[in-house]
Structure formats: structure tokens, C-alpha cells
Amino acid sequence: MTLETHGEHNERTAKLAAEQADGTLEVPGRFIPSPTTRRWLYAVAVAVVPLLVTLGAVTPDVAGHVLTIAGAVFGLAVPALAVANTPK
């Protein structure tokens, strides 16, 4: 095991911060690793599901379950937190 120098640590930290800031930081082990893609897909689901309820394609109960599953799959639990806590 080798220890990284202070400069190497700062360089790695700066690179991760830049990737998070521009939305390119990928989280390993996630079904959809890109936060930008997850945020976009969740936004689509949040827009489409109420439309399906309005058209009578699904019931409000089913819609709630669909959004819960979408939140779990995309790694976002609450719509307000999804927008606030994913990199832009």
C-alpha cells in the first residue's frame, strides 16, 4: 500500500469536485451511473405519470407506486431533494 502525497490528494479531490460540478461524475455500482441522466429520467417520470393518471391509463394509487419505484431505481427518494442534491 502506498500513501498519496498531499499534492496528489488535492489533485484527486479537485478532479472529483470538477466532475461533480459539471455532472460527469459517475457513481460506480449504480444502474444508471450518470447523475445528469438519472435527474433527466426522473423528471420525465414525474411529468409522464400524472399525465397517465389524467388519461385514465393508471390509477392514482398505481401512479404513487410507479414514482416510488422510479425514485428507487434512479437513486432519488423525494422529488424536491432530487433536483436540489444532484449535480447540475
Q: What is the DSSP string of 39-79?
A: HHHHHHHHHHHHHHHHTTSS-HHHHHHHHHHHHHHTT-SSH
Vertex 44: Cα angle to 50 and 78 (nearest 5): 75
The grid coordinates of residue 3 equal 500513501
How many Cα atoms within 13 Å fall on the side-chain side of residue 55?
6
What is the 8-class DSSP label of residue 5?
Answer: P
Q: CB of 2 within 8 A of CB of 9? A: no
Query: Tell me, what's the pLDDT at 59?
Result: 94
Q: What are 42-80's pLDDT values in tens digits?
A: 888 889 999 999 999 999 999 999 988 887 777 654 455
Q: What is the pLDDT of residue 72?
A: 76
Q: What is the pLDDT of residue 77?
A: 46
Higher pLDDT, 46 or 28: 46
Q: Which of 10-19, 43-52, 78-87 has the highest mean pLDDT?
A: 43-52
